[in-house]
Chains A and B, each alone.
Chain A
Amino acid sequence: MFTPVILVPAVLNGLMTGAVYALIALGLTLIYGVLHIINFAHGALLTAAMFAAFFAHKLLGFDPYMAAIGLSPLFFLIGYGLQRYVIGPAAHGEDRNILLVTLGLAVVIENALLYAFRADTRTINLPYAFDVVEIGTAFIAVSRVIAFATVIAVALLLWILMRFTRTGKAIRAVAKEKLGAELSGIDVAHIYAVTFGIGTACLAIAACLLLPTYYVNPHAGNAFVLVAFTIVVLGGMGSVAGALLGGLFVGVVESLSGLYLGESLGQIGIFVMFILVLLFRPSGLFGARA
Chain B
Amino acid sequence: MKGTSTILVVLALLALVPVLTTSNVVLNFLVTTLLIALVGQGWNLLGGYGGQYSFGHAAFFGTGAYVTAILQMRYGVNAWLGFVLAIAAGALVGAIIGAMSFRSGLRGSYFALVTLAFAEVLRIIASVAPITGAGVGTLIKLDLRPEAFQFQSRVPFYFIALALVAASLIIVRMIEDSRFGAYLVAVRENEDAARALGVDVNAVKLAAMTVSAAITAAAGGFYAQYFLFVDSGIAYGPWISVEALLAPIIGGVGTVFGPLLGALVVKTLGELAKLVTGDAPGLDLVIYGGVLVLVVAFAPRGIAGLIADARRLVRRFHDKATMERGNG
Q: Which residues of A contact B (CB under 8 A)?
A: 37-38, 40, 86, 89-92, 94-97, 99-101, 103-115, 118-119, 218, 226, 229, 267-268, 271-272, 274-275, 278-280, 282, 290
Contact = CB atoms under 8 A, between A and B. Distances in A.
B292 A271 contact: no
Interface string B29-71: 0000000000000000000000101010000000000000000
B120 A271 contact: yes
Contacts of A90: 293, 296-297
B289 A115 contact: no
B109 A37 contact: yes
Contacts of B288: 107
A111 B286 contact: yes
Contact of B121 (A110, A111, A119, A271): A271
Given A101-B293, A103-B292, A105-B289, A278 B109 contact: no
A278 B117 contact: yes
Interface residues of A, dominant DSSP: helix
B104 A274 contact: no
A215 B261 CA distance: 42
Contacts of B88: none
Interface of B: 51, 53, 55, 100-101, 104-110, 112-114, 117-118, 120-121, 124-125, 238, 242, 245, 249, 280-283, 285-286, 288-290, 292-293, 296-297, 300
A115 B121 contact: no
Q: Which of B109, B245, B292, B300 has the most A CB atoms < 10 Å from its CB? A: B109
Contacts of B249: 100
B245 A111 contact: no
Given A100-B296, A114-B282, A282-B105, 17 more contacts: A89-B297, A90-B297, A91-B296, A95-B109, A99-B55, A100-B245, A100-B292, A101-B292, A107-B286, A107-B288, A107-B292, A111-B285, A115-B282, A115-B286, A271-B120, A279-B100, A290-B110
Contact of A105 (B51, B120, B293): B293
A104 B296 CA distance: 10
A114 B121 CA distance: 22
Contacts of A282: 104-106, 110
B299 to A, nearest CB: 11
6 contacts: A101-B297, A107-B289, A111-B283, A115-B283, A278-B117, A279-B101
Nearest to A116: B282
Contacts of B283: 111, 115
A211 to B, nearest CB: 22
A218 B283 CA distance: 13
A275 B121 contact: yes
Contacts of B282: 110-115, 218
Contacts of A104: 289-290, 292-293, 296
A92 B108 CA distance: 16
Contacts of B105: 282
A96 B114 contact: no
Nearest to B245: A100
Nearest to A98: B109
A280 B104 contact: yes
A231 to B, nearest CB: 13
A46 B104 CA distance: 30
B293 to A, nearest CB: 4
Contacts of B125: 268
A73 to B, nearest CB: 25
B281 to A, nearest CB: 6
A275 B118 contact: yes
